[in-house]
Homo-oligomer: A and B are copies of this chain.
Amino acid sequence: MSKSLLQLTPVEAVACCSPVTREPLTADAAERIAPLVKAIADPVRLRLLSIVASHADGEACVCDLNDAFDLSQPTISHHLKLLHEAGLLEREKRGVWVYYRVNAAALGDLSALLGGVGA
Contact = CB atoms under 8 A, between A and B. Distances in A.
A107 B114 CA distance: 6
Given A114-B107, A115-B112, A117-B115, A24 B37 contact: no
Nearest to A53: B21
Interface residues on A, range: 35 or more
A41 B46 contact: no
B50 A27 contact: no
Contacts of A31: 43
Given A30-B43, A46-B33, A115-B117, A53 B107 contact: no
Contact of A34 (B24, B46, B51, B53): B46
A38 interface: yes
Nearest to A60: B24
B44 A41 contact: no
A89 interface: no
A41 B43 contact: no
A23 interface: yes
Given A22-B54, A107-B20, A111-B115, A37 B33 contact: no
Contacts of A98: none
